[in-house]
Amino acid sequence: MGASAHTRVELVLERDRLAPGDAVNGSVTPMLPVWAVDLVRVESSPAATLEFTVASVRPRSDGAFALSVPEDAPPSVSGRACALVWRVRARIGEQPQVSDPRRTLEVECPF
């Protein structure tokens, strides 16, 4: 599960389906400039798409990272007009950019 993007940074997730409270484990290409790895909640509606950074961590020197999905995280959902999805973003700079590598993951309902 990898994706190449800006500055040839590869973002790899061990799993793309998780439950609230699980850890998102993965890696980014070591030795390339990654400012931070973020867990992002993306809410889309006809009016707007909003992104909220829920957790953030700097990758280790080997590129590995772990982010916790909050215990109260709502599940991923998609309807005809609205959606809530979760993404992991490898931020190349201090501020997020559209070109930052991203991977979508599914947060499952715990029941």
Q: State residue 6's pLDDT score.
A: 45
- Model confidence at 7, pLDDT cuts 50, 70, 90, reads low
Least confident interval from 29-38, 61-70, 79-88 = 29-38
**Mean pLDDT in residue range 61-78:** 95
13 CB contacts (<8 Å, ≥6 apart)?
Answer: 1, 24, 25, 26, 88, 103, 105
Say which CATH number the domain at 12 has: 2.60.40.840
Entry pTM: 0.88
- Domain total in the chain: 1
Q: Are 104 and 87 in contact (CB under 8 A)?
A: yes
Q: Which residue range is the domain that position 26 belongs to?
A: 2-107
